[in-house]
């Protein structure tokens, strides 16, 4: 299965997108447009909203912690933690 967001970010593109779901409210509401820009796990900071892959699934979620060996700890805005990853493709640079 292709992931168009990941592919666009890997090509260095910034773009506007939206997703359904309530896990990031009130930072991003369901179907609220936001701009993604390419970023690696080394470039993002705790508190950034990133587009990433954790345990085989793609998420637009928060960076909860960073670790030189494990990468970024990813979780939603409701307290759930998805896990650690270095597969960060981009970050939210603007919520529209």
pLDDT of residue 1: 62
Domains of the chain: 4-95 (2.10.109.10)
Residues 31-59 pLDDT 10s:
999 999 999 999 999 999 999 999 999 99
Q: pLDDT band at 22, cuts 50/70/90?
A: very high
CB atoms within 10 A of CB 49: 22
9-15 average pLDDT score: 97
Taking every pair of Cα atoms in the chain, the longest distance, rounded to a whole number of angstroms, is 34
């Amino acid at each position: 299965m292709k992931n168009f967001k990941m592919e666009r970010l890997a090509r260095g593109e910034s773009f506007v997108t939206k997703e359904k779901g309530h896990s990031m409210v009130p930072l991003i509401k369901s179907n609220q447009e936001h701009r993604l820009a390419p970023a690696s796990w080394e470039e993002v900071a705790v508190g950034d909203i990133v587009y990433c892959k954790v345990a085989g699934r793609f998420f637009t979620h928060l960076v909860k912690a960073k670790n030189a060996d494990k990468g970024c700890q990813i979780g939603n805005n409701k307290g759930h933690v998805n896990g650690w990853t270095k597969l960060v493709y981009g970050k939210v640079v603007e919520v529209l």
